[in-house]
């Protein structure tokens, strides 16, 4: 099994949010499939999202969520990214 870093982009109105997830899968194809299934349930307010390229649109296309990138990684590399992103280094 290989570890993958999944980058997801969420757009609502003109605001863009980026999310990072860690997936373990047998290959890139399976990692993409798992990420797509996750995105399909990203928005609780919409039970029937519309499929779009690499993702789904919710609430009559008011919100779009798609896979921005998937790459191989390691647990250590992903943890380091999270620590850098979520650590306050007050100087």
Domain ranges, ordered by start, for the chain: 2-85
Classify 49 in phi/psi space as left (phi over 0), alpha (psi -120 to 50) or beta: beta
Backbone angles phi, psi at 31, to 5 degrees: -60, -45
Whole-model pTM: value is 0.87
Please give the share of the chain, as a percent, with pLDDT higher than 70.
Answer: 100
Q: Tell me: pLDDT of 47 over 80.
A: yes
- Read off the DSSP letter of residue 72: E
Q: Tell me: pLDDT of 38 over 90.
A: yes
Q: Tell me: pLDDT of 44 over 90.
A: no
pLDDT-derived band at 91 (thresholds 50, 70, 90) equals: confident
pLDDT-derived band at 89 (thresholds 50, 70, 90) equals: confident
Q: Tell me: pLDDT of 58 over 80.
A: yes
């Amino acid at each position: 099994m290989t570890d993958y870093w999944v980058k997801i982009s969420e757009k609502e109105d003109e605001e863009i949010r980026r999310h990072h997830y860690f997936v373990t899968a047998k290959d890139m194809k399976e990692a993409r499939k798992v990420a797509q299934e996750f995105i399909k349930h990203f928005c609780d307010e919409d039970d029937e999202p519309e499929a779009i390229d690499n993702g789904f649109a919710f609430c009559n296309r008011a919100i779009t969520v798609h896979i921005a990138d998937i790459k191989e990684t390691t647990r250590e590399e992903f943890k380091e990214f999270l620590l850098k992103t979520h650590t306050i280094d007050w100087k």
